[in-house]
Amino acid sequence: MNKALLGIIGGMGTQASACFYEKLHSMQNVVVEQDYIDILLYSIPSIPDRTAFITGKSTENPLDSLISAARTLETAGVSRIAIPCITSHYFYDKLSEAVSIPILNLLDETAFAVSERNAKNICLFATDGTIKGKVFDSAFEKCGINVILPADDVQSNLMELIYNIKCGTEFSTDTLNDITSKALEEGAETVVLGCTELCVAAKSSPKVINVLDILAEAALR
């Protein structure tokens, strides 16, 4: 009997994809290695920068590359696709229309996770592209979740950290921990790490939602 095959569009960035794979591994309790789920990871760091396109800093549209990746996985026989990159979900609807297999919706999954905690006021840490593209807006609005965004200087610090992680540059987790603590002190009930690079740098906390954890749990379900 053939097992279901999970497809992953990875490489956006590579550390986030590696972290996602590790989370998938660590969340499974198996007796023998054959019990692990089958996974096909297609890592394509050459996909054009999503934030640069959404914010108008680049004319290279990532959508064609994303569709090509999804169709490659579909042809390979995957039964479902996961994308460990929040900003790429800006293209979710068009990408879903391009293939006949389901693509996990990390936006809805995250909003559901926030609702399960009965949190109504969250601080969102995300890329400039995710914020400008209002990528999370609809999912959070449907669940009655109020979003607090970081001040401009804090957002700039987050973006620097995100791109340092993308490029493999050495980074400290202190910046993210300090920003998270301040957001909680200023009234946020929960901090949503709405960028998978930030999930790589984050420490586990009951007050922080890590979207890579959410995606891994959804993929295993």
**23 close to 98: Cβ distance less than 8 angstroms:** no
State whether CATH 3.30.300.90 applies to domain 5-97: no
What is the token pair recorded at 51? 């934030």
Which residues carry out catalysis?
Answer: 85, 195
- Residue 77 Ramachandran class (φ > 0 left, ψ -120 to 50 alpha, else beta): left
> What's residue 2's pLDDT?
67
Residues contacting 199, CB < 8 A, separation 6+: 16, 19, 193, 210, 211, 212, 213
User: Could you tell me how many helices (H) and strands (E) the chain has, helices first?
Assistant: 11, 7
pLDDT, block means (10 residues), the chain with 221 residues? 88 97 97 96 98 98 98 98 98 98 98 95 98 98 97 96 94 90 95 97 92 97 93
Q: Quick check: do 5-97 and 106-210 share a fold?
A: yes
Q: What is the pLDDT of residue 3?
A: 85
- Distance, CA of 79 to chain centre: 20
Please, what CATH class does the domain formed by 106-210 belong to?
alpha beta
Amino acid at residue number 145: I
Domain boundaries, the chain: 5-97, 106-210
What is the pLDDT at residue 97? 98
- In 3D space, the residue among 58, 191, 207 whose CA is nearest the CA of residue 126 turns out to be 191
Q: What distance in Å separates the CA atoms of residue 60 and residue 174, rounded to the nearest whole number? A: 34
| Burial degree of 98 (CB within 10 A; 0-12, 13-18, 19+) | middle
CA 115 distance to own-chain centroid: 18
**Residue 203: its pLDDT value, please?**
85
**Torsion sign, CA atoms 212, 196, 120, 95:** negative
CA–centroid distance for 10 within its chain: 11
| CB-based contacts of 200, cutoff 8 Å, min separation 6 | 15, 16, 19, 165, 212
